Amino acid sequence: MVTIDDVARAAGVSTSTVSYALSGRRPISPATRERVAAAIAELGYHPHAGARALASSRSSVLALVAPLRSDINVPVIMEFVTAVVTAAREHSYDVLLLTKDEGTAGLQRVAGGAMVDALIVMDVESDDARVPALLKLRQPSVLIGLPSEPTGLTCVDLDFEATARACVEHLAGRGHRRIALVGPAPGVYQRGTSYANRFLTGFTAAVGALGADVVAEPCDPSRAGVRDCLDRIGPDVTGLVVHNEAALMPLLDLLRVDGRRVPEDVSVVAVCPRDAVPPLPVRLTTAEIPAHEVGTLAVTMAMRLLDSPVATPPETRLLPPVIVERDSVSPI
Amino acid sequence: MVTIDDVARAAGVSTSTVSYALSGRRPISPATRERVAAAIAELGYHPHAGARALASSRSSVLALVAPLRSDINVPVIMEFVTAVVTAAREHSYDVLLLTKDEGTAGLQRVAGGAMVDALIVMDVESDDARVPALLKLRQPSVLIGLPSEPTGLTCVDLDFEATARACVEHLAGRGHRRIALVGPAPGVYQRGTSYANRFLTGFTAAVGALGADVVAEPCDPSRAGVRDCLDRIGPDVTGLVVHNEAALMPLLDLLRVDGRRVPEDVSVVAVCPRDAVPPLPVRLTTAEIPAHEVGTLAVTMAMRLLDSPVATPPETRLLPPVIVERDSVSPI
DNA sequence: TTGAAAGCGATACCAC
DNA sequence: GTGGTATCGCTTTCAA
């Protein structure tokens, strides 16, 4: 292996000079800088990450905890992951991928072993066992999601409550009064998944403000599950808010089978990321899930926590909803 | 930070004893082992990963290079990633996630810096620029896919050529003679993506063996793209092999619109992983993409390369096709 | 079965 | 603007 000493020798300088030439943490004369750069290129030198981490107590690695096997939206997860990895690389960080399955132990392992400088945690539940564990770590963390007790933690997410409200108001503004929510799979609620509950809260409040009955049903995304969900909702709604991407396809198909046209008989607003709108016959009006923005922002916030010489005050950022009007909503 | 010396002191033994108690690389008396374990638990000791990597020249990290933004099947990628991360953890390895975008430079960075002990590379192209780079690394690598020149590299994948043959034979065995391939998006072929070409090769050979005309069209998975693809294929095929999961939904819908029933008028075999079969009205007969097995196997092979004291001969494993019969194929 | 001590390859402090 | 070197926390050889 080529070491920093090899480079120093080849360039005719000391190891510290090579180190400083690399980090830029002290001035180096152009001539020296150039000789060092040449030696590095010639020898194909790559600093040893472990040695660097040991000496500097910084690993330049971010942990990303993702729900890798679950009933929640796969494309959305991929978009988060992509955004985080890409943004991290722009800050010269690498990403260590952990599964949610590892739970608290995984966080402690990678943080305790100083493998990572900061953690980004997706799919946070309202009352998440990992939250107290994160607060005890030496490394800062950023949550994608919003636990019920976020004190002391930095969080970022779409404002799902406002998003639900925006969906309802979009329909209400076009005359709809009988509006139902087709929610995520039952398991998502049972786990206390933060975003599902926040969406439901916003939906309930918005429909209540309209003085209408609140109809909200979880929905298993199988064809049978969607059939069942539609039956529970009943035949007389005119507006459907669908917070379940996987259910969209069977849902639209079953509406067709039932002879209910979209948007003539039923208007539909779907919650899903721009890039994952299913290629259905009707172009869906959606509330966007800005997964890319959220992921990028999570990295930015993590970098701020790492940069700040003193403790940065924890902050929660909820992105405002964006409704993209397409063809699945019509006035009543 | 709690160090190994703290643990040694607390347990009243030497640091080397703690190290060996941890690694099990030399016999330790039960009494000592216990005192060490107690001290570790009490102090909450986690070995410093960087220090360990520096001293042992092993990082216990695997690099996984995934195509994070692409036109290829997102659920399949997720299934690979999940399988790799899960299998890696079972061998006490962590996973560093790289994007394909980083190309050769990314490989050299993480390998040169000794961040990882081995690399697993997904989405290999037939003539992949990364292949020569991988051969030059000190760390072993496993490809998921099959480059045209795999000499010296360990590869694992579904046998796409045999899979295409199996699809065609499945249809031919039920009397179909006019069989067409709905392939991946044009870009996938243009990139020279290995699996797409191998599938096409197998398809062409199998249809040729039947003495029938070979009809194979790439397919953009938008609704318009699928429409276009169907038009190019023409109206008189009775069997469709669909190697494009995203296109399935619009495809089935357009067939319905055209009044062509599945499977009465057209039989369909789809290539897709078991867990990602779309919830369509017709339960699709599929050729499985065993993403989980392939991912797990990739890790196993990487471990074998790491374990073997001498160079293990490179090996290519192609998993045999499995057709799962459901309701989208009927005899003619 | 255990201990002492020499590295591993960087960083960053202290000098000049 | 540059050099020397103690130090980071662990593994592993050598010795007992």
Query: pLDDT tens-digit profile of B196-237?
Result: 999 999 999 999 999 999 999 999 999 999 999 999 999 999
DSSP of A117-144: SEEEE-S-BTT-THHHHHHHSSS-EEEE
- How near does any CA of chain A get to the CA of B131, in Å? 19
Answer whether B78 sits within 8 Å of A82, measured CB to CB: no
Kindly give, in sequence order, each residue whose CB lies less than 8 Å from that of residue B162, ignoring residues fewer than 6 positions away: B202, B318, B320, B321
Q: Is the dihedral of CA A133, A134, A135, A137 positive or negative?
A: positive
pLDDT score at B64: 98
Kindly give, in sequence order, each residue whose CB lies less than 8 Å from that of residue A16, ignoring residues fewer than 6 positions away: none
For testing contact with chain B, the best of A97, A277, A296, A327 (most B CBs within 10 A): A97
pLDDT score at B308: 81
The gap between A32 CA and D1 C1' (Å) is: 10
Kindly give, in sequence order, each residue whose CB lies less than 8 Å from that of residue B25, ignoring residues fewer than 6 positions away: none
pLDDT band at B93 (very low <50, low <70, confident <90, very high): very high
Q: Which residue has the tokens 């989980």?
A: B292
pLDDT score at A188: 92
Answer whether A94 sits within 8 Å of B95, measured CB to CB: no
Q: Which of B51, B59, B85 sits opposite A54 (nearest CB)?
A: B51
The answer to whether B83 and B120 have CB atoms below 8 angstroms apart is no
Q: B54 beta carbon < 7 A from strand C?
A: yes
Among residues A194, A195, A193, A239, which one has the least CA distance to residue A216? A239
pLDDT score at A71: 67
Nucleotides of D under 7 A from a protein CB: 1-5, 7-13
Q: Is the pLDDT of residue A150 over 80?
A: no
Angstrom distance (rounded) from CA B187 to CA A116: 37
Answer whether A48 sits within 8 Å of B113, measured CB to CB: yes
pLDDT score at B229: 97
Q: B310 beta carbon < 7 A from strand C?
A: no
Average pLDDT of the segment spanning A32-46: 96
Angstrom distance (rounded) from CA B176 to CA B26: 66
Q: Is the pLDDT of residue B102 over 70?
A: yes
- Which is more confidently placed, B75 or A144? A144
Q: Is the pLDDT of residue A312 over 90?
A: no
- How near does any CA of chain B get to the CA of A210, in Å? 35
pTM here is 0.95
Name the closest nucleotide to B29, judged by C1' and CA.
C1
Q: Is the pLDDT of residue B110 over 70?
A: yes
3-state secondary structure of B218: coil
For testing contact with chain A, the best of B54, B57, B84 (most A CBs within 10 A): B54
- Chain A residues 15-54 with Cβ under 7 Å of strand C are 15-16, 19-20, 22-23, 25, 45-48, 51-52, 54
Mean per-residue pLDDT of chain B: 94
- Which is more confidently placed, A190 or B312? A190
Helices A74-90, A291-307: inter-axial angle, 10-degree rounding: 40
The gap between A55 CA and D5 C1' (Å) is: 14
Give the residues across from B158 on adjacent strands. B319
Q: Is the pLDDT of residue B309 over 70?
A: no
Q: Is the pLDDT of residue A309 over 70?
A: no
Q: Is the pLDDT of residue A211 over 70?
A: yes
| CA-based nearest residue in chain A for residue B62 | A96
Average pLDDT of the segment spanning A96-100: 97
Q: How many CB atoms lie within 10 A of CB A138?
A: 10
Q: Is the pLDDT of residue A332 over 90?
A: no
Among residues B126, B124, B247, which one has the least CA distance to residue B180? B247
The gap between A26 CA and C14 C1' (Å) is: 15
Q: B22 beta carbon < 7 A from strand D?
A: yes
- Counted across chains A and B, CB pairs separated by less than 8 A come out at 143
pLDDT score at A308: 82
